[in-house]
Amino acid sequence: MEKQFAIFTICIRGTGDKIMEVARKAGARGGTVFKAKGTAPEEISQFKNIQVQPEKEIILILVSETDKDKIMKAIAINYGVSSEANAITFAIPVDESVGVNI
């Protein structure tokens, strides 16, 4: 069985569906979008000279190792930190999953 990964993308609320479209075109079969709230301190926004948007979405996509890089790259290119979504993306290995066909 091929190794699995969970891709997490944290983005500005309202951009999760657009990110999922890009992920699907890159090979993702589906995902889950959660509403979230950021907690970055004000000092970070002043230091980095950016406006912190506390209303976030987190997208979780379970993928095979073969598809991981392609999906992450598509998200970063289309909706990375320099875009309207201001998205960050990372992946962690998944030891087991049940009921998911990827």
Helices 16-25, 65-79: inter-axial angle, 10-degree rounding: 130
Rounded-to-integer distance, Cα 83 and Cα 40, Å: 19
Q: What is the pLDDT of residues 74-93, one digit of tens each?
A: 999 999 999 999 999 999 99
Beta partners for 90?
8
Report the alpha-carbon angle 101-66-29, nearest 5. 40
Q: Is 99 left (phi over 0), alpha (psi -120 to 50) or beta?
A: left
Residue 53, SS3 per DSSP = coil
The answer to whether the pTM exceeds 0.95 is no
Q: What percentage of the chain reaches a pLDDT higher than 70? A: 86
pLDDT digits (tens, 9 = 90+) for 51-67: 566 799 999 999 999 99
